[in-house]
Every structure is written in C-alpha cells, then in structure tokens.
C-alpha cells in the first residue's frame, strides 16, 4: 500500500497461501475482501505489516481499503 494504491493491483496465489502486506503511506489502510469475510488485516498504521491467508477455494476475490474505498484490487486464487 503506497500512494493510496495497492501494488500490484492484482495478486495471484495458490489456495491457502500466506499474503503479507505493508502500509507504506502515512495514513491507515486495510487489505479487506469485498465480502468482508475472506480476509481482512484491519487498519494498519504507517510502516505496519500483516499477513492473511488466501481462501482455499479457487476464484477471484475483489478487495479494497476500508477507510479509502477507491483503493481496490483483485486477489486471484488458482491451483
């Protein structure tokens, strides 16, 4: 998370993979699935990192930043 954007905007992982994110902005951001249940780091302050586990079901999982809903991306889970 940097400059109010996710980088990369599309993340491709295997089912159950660990995903680490770091907030490099000076405001709080989250890495939250659009369904609110598949994964959610909660709001991370500047310099903080968190790790979530990708869903075990292959598919496409849109995500966003809760405080800044214009920050969006896609998690693709595939074998």
Q: Give the fold, CATH level 3, of 10-77.
A: Immunoglobulin-like (2.60.40)
pTM summary value? 0.94
Among residues 20, 23, 12, 15, the alpha carbon closest in space to that of 65 is found at 23
Reported in sequence order, the residue ranges of 1-79 that DSSP labels E, i.e. its strands, are 10-13, 18-22, 32-33, 49-53, 59-64, 72-77
Of the CA atoms within 13 Å of residue 48, those in its CB half-sphere come to 13
Phi, psi of 29 (to 5 degrees): -140, 160
Ordered by start, the domain boundaries in the chain are: 10-77
Give the residue ranges of the annotated binding site: 29, 65, 68
Give the residue ranges of the annotated binding site for Cu cation: 29, 65, 68
Q: How far apart are CA 76 and CA 11, in angstroms?
A: 6
Per-residue pLDDT of the chain (79 residues; tens, 9 = 90+): 999 999 999 999 999 999 999 999 999 999 999 999 999 999 999 999 999 999 999 999 999 999 999 999 999 999 9
């Amino acid at each position: 998370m940097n400059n109010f954007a996710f980088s990369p905007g599309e993340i491709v992982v295997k089912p159950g993979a660990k995903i680490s994110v770091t907030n490099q902005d000076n405001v709080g951001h989250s890495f939250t699935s659009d369904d609110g249940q598949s994964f959610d780091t909660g709001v991370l302050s500047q310099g903080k990192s968190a790790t979530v586990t990708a869903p075990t079901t292959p598919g496409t999982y849109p995500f966003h930043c809760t405080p800044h809903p214009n920050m969006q991306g896609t998690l693709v889970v595939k074998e």
